[in-house]
Chain A
Amino acid sequence: AQSVSQHNHHVILSEAASLELGCNYSYGGTVNLFWYVQYPGQHLQLLLKYFSGDPLVKGIKGFEAEFIKSKFSFNLRKPSVQWSDTAEYFCAVLNDYKLSFGAGTTVTVRA
């Protein structure tokens, strides 16, 4: 079965700091990879997606993620965070047309 691991449970950082959230998956075949964000009190929103082509994917709000096939990783990055980036971040893999999610990372940005 597919599994997704997110290494950081809770990340606390200051505004303007750089952010990197780790994500590893277990499946060795072709994968579609996603990062979703859940802002406080809101529903899941798609940040970015990888399905083929350039392994460096750019998403909304200045986020990007890099797919490294040899490492089974899809880490999320943002060079300079803002207070409004405080949220839960979920990595997900699409397998058999259903999503498998990581446990999520809580990101708290201090003003």
Chain B
Amino acid sequence: GEEVAQTPKHLVRGEGQKAKLYCAPIKGHSYVFWYQQVLKNEFKFLISFQNENVFDETGMPKERFSAKCLPNSPCSLEIQATKLEDSAVYFCASSQGLAAHTDTQYFGPGTRLTVL
């Protein structure tokens, strides 16, 4: 598609429940990025993929967060046993490549996760 698509738009979970978020990158883009926006303005990088392969996972909380990008499927970000502090908007972005002319990251609309 021409835009990054994210589903669902809103997700509400009780503490301890699992949450799964999905992202479809722009067609032809090889890189996918996940960011967490807490408190409206603070963005944090979580993980990036080059096609199906993890490219950089330095921002991922290892214990409860996992992510995948499988062929012919939307990418996913899963949080096992959610905690209150996981409440945030999760943005997915994609880029064509990493070179200067292709590294612009285009963002999806985000998924707002509320943990009660």
Contact = CB atoms under 8 A, between A and B. Distances in A.
Contact of B43 (A51, A97, A101): A101
B107 A97 contact: no
Contacts of B109: 42-43
A106 to B, nearest CB: 9
A103 interface: yes
Interface in A17-59: 32, 34, 36, 42-46, 49, 51-52
Contacts of B91: 43-44
Interface stretch (B14-22, B66-74, B77-85, B96-104): B96-104
Contacts of A96: 56
Q: How large is the interface on A (under 10, 10 to 19, 20 to 34, 35 or more residues)?
A: 20 to 34
B49 to A, nearest CB: 11
Interface of A: 32, 34, 36, 42-46, 49, 51-52, 88, 90, 94, 96-101, 103-104
Given A46-B106, A51-B103, 5 more contacts: A88-B41, A97-B56, A99-B33, A101-B43, A103-B42
